[in-house]
Amino acid sequence: MREPIRDLGRLEHILEQIDNAEEFVAGKSLVDLQGDKVLQYALIKSIEIIGEASYMLSLEFKEQHTDVAWNQIIKMRHVLVHGYYHISLPVVWSIVHDDLPQLRPYIVQYIEELRKGQS
C-alpha cells in the first residue's frame, strides 16, 4: 500500500541506492562493468530498487513533485526485471553516471522537506 507516511523511507532507500551505485563505480570504467558480473548485478539491483521505491511512493507525493520523471524511473525498473535478457550495459552505465547524479539533489531536497514536516 502506498502511504504518504512511508514516503520518507522510500526516498531514503532511493538515496541509499544512488550512493551505493556511485560507490560501486568509483574508479571503474564501462569496460570494467562489461567484464565484471558482480558489478553488473550490483548496479542493476540498485537501479531496480530505485524504481521499486519510486513506484511505492504515494501518488500524492509524485503529483506534488513533478521535477522528477517518476514514470521513466519506474519503467526502467520494469525493463530490468522483466526484460532482463535485453539489458544494455552502456545504458546501465549511462544511468549511473548521468541520471543518478541529477536525481540525487531532488531526493535530498525531498527528504529534507519531509523531515522538516515531521518536526
Among 2, 77, 104, 115, the active-site one is 77
User: pLDDT tens digit string along 33-71?
Assistant: 999 999 999 999 999 999 999 999 999 999 999 999 999
Residue 8 belongs to what domain range? Answer: 4-118
pLDDT class for 3, splitting at 50, 70, 90? low
User: Which residue has better confidence, 85 or 106?
Assistant: 106
- Which three cell numbers mark 107? 531526493
Radius of gyration of the CA atoms of the chain, in A? 15
- Which three cell numbers mark 67? 521535477
Read off the pLDDT of each residue in 66-91 and give the average, rounded to a whole number: 92
Number of domains the chain is built from: 1
Active site residue 6: no
Mean pLDDT of the chain: 93
Whole-number Å distance between alpha carbons of 50 and 11? 9
Q: Look at residues 93, 112, 83, 97 and name the one whose alpha carbon lies nearest to residue 31.
A: 93
